[in-house]
Amino acid sequence: MKTIFNSILLIVIVLVIGSIRLSNGEPPPSPPCKLYNAGAKCQLAGQPCENEGCIYGTHCFNGTCVKNTELNGKCNATLKDKEGNSLECGSLFGCANQKCTIEQYLENGDACTDSYQCLGTLECTGGKCTLKNNTCKDSNDCPYDHYCNEKNHSCTPELALGDNCTQKSQVRECRLGSRCLNGKCVAYFSLKEGDPCLWTEGITIFDLCDIELGLYCDGNGTKKCEKIPSSATNESVNCIGLGCNPFEKCYCVNGSSTTKGTCHPFTVVSLEDRTKLSLV
Ligand SMILES: *[C@@H]1O[C@H](CO)[C@@H](O)[C@H](O)[C@H]1NC(C)=O
Ligand SMILES: *[C@@H]1O[C@H](CO)[C@@H](O)[C@H](O)[C@H]1NC(C)=O
Ligand SMILES: *[C@@H]1O[C@H](CO)[C@@H](O)[C@H](O)[C@H]1NC(C)=O
Ligand SMILES: *[C@@H]1O[C@H](CO)[C@@H](O)[C@H](O)[C@H]1NC(C)=O
Ligand SMILES: *[C@@H]1O[C@H](CO)[C@@H](O)[C@H](O)[C@H]1NC(C)=O
Ligand SMILES: *[C@@H]1O[C@H](CO)[C@@H](O)[C@H](O)[C@H]1NC(C)=O
Ligand SMILES: *[C@@H]1O[C@H](CO)[C@@H](O)[C@H](O)[C@H]1NC(C)=O
Ligand SMILES: *[C@@H]1O[C@H](CO)[C@@H](O)[C@H](O)[C@H]1NC(C)=O
């Protein structure tokens, strides 16, 4: 159930940076959005759309936002969105045997009846989710605590904290909750003020420094964990097209403007900000 652990970790990280309801059109603000990402659309079921821009839980079909099909409802597996998810079943379910179904939830070695149940590229063979051709494509194909070794495409035990690792971020060789930093597996949010933290490919400024202490990785400057600066972008600045500082996000004014937006912090969010962003 590695993806579940991944999801939990992701949720924790997203919660930490306090932007869970407002990024990527994920869980819907309800009632319909008041504020959302600049440039995003927020069309409801029945309203017009152009391939995208429909609110979470709906999809764009033939120029109109349509409610997603429910679990066990009929679907057409050839209809997919940009991310390759079933268009009609949405991101939560897949379309298998012409029904919206929970798919890809069994891992390597789990008992199965059909391949759509198995994670990654695993196949249901002899009643078990099994590697195809005895090779893995990515870590979803491997049992818990294992990653897919890019070199020989075999499932290999993950490394422990402090073990030697390579810098390749796409290979999850360090165990869940840790990252490869300068050749060693380091736990997320474990570094203190002044610790070297140079971020590399796949590591963000918030991954490794202790964000509870208000730290981020100043990889462009001191290359150490530093306090997040408190200076905010002036509210009179229109951030659409201009952007905000790395600790803020640009949201459109009144949830409707596509030309005017203001910066809001997403790290240490004050009650005032939370109210403004309709998070409370
Ligand atoms: C798409 O919409 C047009 C007009 O809006 C309609 O004539 C057509 O039947 C629709 N196609 C499908 C597949 O629903
Ligand atoms: C599924 O969708 C494709 C593409 O729109 C279409 O050609 C095909 O007829 C559909 N299949 C069924 C069973 O509706
Ligand atoms: C199966 O794996 C071997 C190496 O383990 C590889 O040489 C071969 O091309 C693979 N076959 C298929 C069909 O992927
Ligand atoms: C693949 O490589 C890893 C590390 O390089 C090694 O531990 C493992 O035994 C190899 N597996 C196979 C099947 O060769
Ligand atoms: C880890 O890397 C260091 C430095 O390259 C090396 O001295 C050490 O032997 C390595 N340890 C293991 C267990 O491979
Ligand atoms: C680091 O600096 C580069 C070049 O000035 C800039 O493009 C990039 O956005 C900066 N990254 C962060 C995280 O501040
Ligand atoms: C923000 O900008 C406005 C207009 O330029 C200015 O009057 C105001 O003092 C600025 N606020 C802060 C906190 O800098
Ligand atoms: C936001 O919407 C309210 C009510 O619709 C309106 O009174 C206000 O002027 C709007 N603010 C901006 C900056 O557009």
By alpha-carbon position, which residue is closest to atom 14 of ligand 7? 234
By alpha-carbon position, which residue is closest to atom 7 of ligand 4? 156
Highest mean pLDDT among 40-44, 158-162, 178-182: 158-162
Give the list of residues 6+ apart from residue 66 with CB closer than 8 angstroms, or none: 45, 54, 58, 59, 60
Query: Which residues sit with their C-beta closer than 6 Å to ligand 7?
Result: 234, 236
Has residue 97 got a pLDDT over 50?
Answer: yes
- Ligand 8 close to Cβ of residue 255 (< 6 A): no
Report the nearest atom of ligand 3 relative to the CA of 133.
Answer: 1
Query: Rounded distance, CA 248 to CA 234, Å?
Result: 11
**pLDDT band at residue 94, thresholds of 50, 70 and 90?**
very high
CA of 250 relative to ligand 8 center, distance in Å: 17
What local confidence, expressed as pLDDT, does residue 74 receive? 97
**pLDDT band at residue 41, thresholds of 50, 70 and 90?**
low
What local confidence, expressed as pLDDT, does residue 137 receive? 92
- Ligand 4 close to Cβ of residue 171 (< 6 A): no
Check: CB of residue 49 under 8 Å from CB of residue 60.
yes
Mean pLDDT of 249-259: 77
Report the nearest atom of ligand 2 relative to the CA of 76.
Answer: 1
What local confidence, expressed as pLDDT, does residue 106 receive? 96
CA angle 79, 85, 87 (to 5 degrees): 40
Best residue among 60, 61, 78 to mutate for probing ligand 2's pocket (most ligand atoms within 8 Å of CB) is 78
**pLDDT band at residue 258, thresholds of 50, 70 and 90?**
confident
What local confidence, expressed as pLDDT, does residue 269 receive? 47
By alpha-carbon position, which residue is closest to atom 13 of ligand 2? 76
What local confidence, expressed as pLDDT, does residue 4 receive? 43
By alpha-carbon position, which residue is closest to atom 1 of ligand 3? 133
By alpha-carbon position, which residue is closest to atom 1 of ligand 2? 76
Per mean pLDDT, which range of 137-151, 192-206, 208-222, 256-270 is the poorest?
A: 256-270
- Ligand 8 close to Cβ of residue 279 (< 6 A): no
Mean pLDDT of 5-27: 39
Query: Rounded distance, CA 254 to CA 34, Å?
Result: 6
What pLDDT, in 10s, does the model give residues 76-89? 999 998 888 999 99
Paired sense of beta strands 178-181 and 154-157, if any: unpaired
By alpha-carbon position, which residue is closest to atom 10 of ligand 7? 234
Query: Rounded distance, CA 237 to CA 267, Å?
Result: 19
**Hey, how many other C-beta atoms are within 10 angstroms of the C-beta on 5?**
12
What pLDDT, in 10s, does the model give residues 225-250? 998 877 778 888 998 888 888 778 88
Per mean pLDDT, which range of 8-12, 92-96, 152-156 is the poorest?
A: 8-12
199 by Cβ neighbours in 10 Å (0-12 / 13-18 / 19+) ranks as buried
Has residue 131 got a pLDDT over 60?
Answer: yes
What local confidence, expressed as pLDDT, does residue 99 receive? 96
Percent of all residues in the chain with a pLDDT value above 90, rounded to a whole number: 40
**pLDDT band at residue 114, thresholds of 50, 70 and 90?**
very high
CA of 75 relative to ligand 2 center, distance in Å: 9
By alpha-carbon position, which residue is closest to atom 11 of ligand 4? 154
Query: Rounded distance, CA 56 to CA 37, Å?
Result: 13
CA of 148 relative to ligand 3 center, distance in Å: 15
Cα dist. 105→46, 87, 129, 139, 191 in Å? Answer: 32, 19, 10, 14, 34
- Ligand 4 close to Cβ of residue 149 (< 6 A): yes
Query: Rounded distance, CA 10 to CA 141, Å?
Result: 19
What pLDDT, in 10s, does the model give residues 19-39? 333 334 444 443 344 344 444
Report the nearest atom of ligand 6 relative to the CA of 199.
Answer: 13
Mean pLDDT of 164-175: 79
Check: CB of residue 195 under 8 Å from CB of residue 225.
yes
Q: Tokens standing for 134?
A: 């005895």
Give Cα 118 to chain centroid, integer Å.
21
The per-residue DSSP string of the chain comes to -HHHHHHHHHHHHHHHTT-TTTSTT-S--SSS-SS-BTT---BPTTSB-BSB-BPTTEEEETTEEEEPPPTT-B--TT-B-TTS-BTTTTTT-EEETTEEE--S-B-TT-B-SSGGGBSTT-EEETTEEE-BTTB-SSGGGSPTTEEEETTTTEEEEPBPTT-B--S-TTS--BPTTEEEETTEEEETT-BPTT-B----TT--TTSSB-GGGTEEE-TTTTSBEEEPP-----TTS--TTT---TTEEEEEGGGT-SS-EEEEE-SS--HHHHHHTT--
By alpha-carbon position, which residue is closest to atom 9 of ligand 8? 254
Q: For residue 98, give the ligand nearest its CA.
A: 2
**pLDDT band at residue 201, thresholds of 50, 70 and 90?**
low
**pLDDT band at residue 183, thresholds of 50, 70 and 90?**
confident
Mean pLDDT of 56-76: 93
